Structure 1
Amino acid sequence: DGHFRRAIYSLGPYIANYPEQVLLACTVQGHCPRCLSPASDLDQHSAAASRCAAHTEALLQGLTLKELWDDFGIVGDIILFTTGFPRADIHELISMDLLHQIIKGMFKDHIVD
């Protein structure tokens, strides 16, 4: 009809089990895809900072792939699929699949609390 329309779009929560979250967030198996808790300290309820796409991008610019993997639990050779979306950060969007994670006991109490 020749008229221009405006659309505001946004991504909502992404519910996935742990292996899918690891793949989506480009994190290493055993690390939390939502925060920067070390893999060895997930059940200590440490006050770790949340992961965010901006922080991940900054780390990608300054560190080697080995440092990213070992120190931060980031897979550096994969690009986050939400990189091109405005107002979309996969670390904030992923939501826990409690049914599978509680049964498997993947994160002990880290995700539940």
Structure 2
Amino acid sequence: RYADGHYRRTIYGIGPYIADYPEQVLLSCVVQGWCAICDVSADSLEVEGERRTHEHTEALMEAFNEKTLWFDYGIIPGIMPFTAGFPRANIHKLIAPDILHQVIKGTFKDHLATWVEQYINKVYTKREA
């Protein structure tokens, strides 16, 4: 009941969920190395996969054993994402990449650390470094 005394129907929704990859797969109950949005594994990224849905995941869980779910579909058996019971909320559609985090990690952490290490090894001896 609202302040004006009337009743209204309210539908709550969840907006984009920005997270880095490990958090994305954790939230979507997907095996590390698989896409959290579609059903493609890390070794098949050139293939266009089907989008994941709660209904499809539930159907697969009923049809296959745990080993098949894990290795063939990238699904963690026995658990569903926290949005499975929410109307109009599919975690696989809500996930958005954390581009700033990926750029910082990819450019600065991974490459910069390698470059600095190579520079130090080239300029200084092992003893001086």
TM-score by structure 1 length? 0.81
Equivalence map 1:21-36=2 (5 Å)? 21-36=24-39
Q: Residue 70 of structure 2: SS of its match in structure 1? A: helix
Q: Residue 18 of structure 2: SS of its match in structure 1? A: strand
- 1:76 matched residue in structure 2: 77
| Identity score, percent | 52
Higher relative contact order (CA 8 A, sep 6+): 1
**Which entry has the higher C-alpha Rg, 1 or 2?**
2
Residue segments in structure 2 that go unaligned for 5+ positions in a row: 108-129
Q: Residue 35 of structure 1: SS of its match in structure 2? A: coil
TM-score by structure 2 length? 0.72
Deviation at 1:99, TM superposition (A): 2.2
Q: Which runs of 4+ in 1 moved over 4 A?
A: none
- 1:109 matched residue in structure 2: none
Q: Residue 92 of structure 2: SS of its match in structure 1? A: helix
Deviation at 1:52, TM superposition (A): 1.4
Residue segments in structure 1 that go unaligned for 5+ positions in a row: 106-113
Equivalence map 1:18-57=2 (5 Å)? 18-42=21-45, 44=46, 46-57=47-58
Greater helix percent: which structure? 2
The residue type paired with residue 58 of structure 1 is: A
- 1:90 matched residue in structure 2: 91
The residue type paired with residue 79 of structure 1 is: M
Deviation at 1:3, TM superposition (A): 4.6
Equivalent pairs, count: 103
